[in-house]
Homo-oligomer: A and B are copies of this chain.
Amino acid sequence: MDYREVEATREFVCTLDHGGDWRAQIETFAADEGIDAAFFTGLGAVQDAEIMFYDQETMEYDSMVFPEPLEVAACVGNVSMLDGEPFAHTHAVLSRPDGEAIAGHLNSGTVWAGELHVRAFEDSLVREHDEATDLDLWEL
């Protein structure tokens, strides 16, 4: 396991805008505040969601759109730099009216309401292409 000790410099509580995109708002916030590295947790609800699953054989993301209201039961993610811009790597567990859970990589989702805790680090985290997985990962 590669790891890096980080210094947390700033910490934020956020409410996502109703009607805006869950992930894009995090990236805009990071760009506005000059956040190059952070981890976050969150909860709330969305009006729809696009979840992606990484196919480990084809090494490509498959996309699924859920055009329905869903709770955001748990959201865990981080911010780091990808191609010079803040990228919010966002995973989420969503749920339906009967409690059924749907989960994965959250590409987008129209916010109904959302609350985030963001812990920003002084260090910059940069994603670079990784051969073994064909993903953009950190070199720590």
Contacts and interface: CB of A to CB of B under 8 A. Distances in A.
A102 B104 contact: no
Residues of A in contact with B, size category: 35 or more
**What's the number of copies of this chain in the assembled complex?**
3
Contacts of A2: 14-15, 17
A125 B116 CA distance: 13
Interface in A2-48: 2-8, 10-18, 20, 25-26, 28-29, 37, 39, 41-43, 45, 47
Interface of A: 1-8, 10-18, 20, 25-26, 28-29, 37, 39, 41-43, 45, 47, 51, 53-57, 62, 64, 66, 69, 71-78, 89, 91-105, 112-113, 115, 117-119, 121, 123, 125, 130, 132-133, 135, 137-138, 140
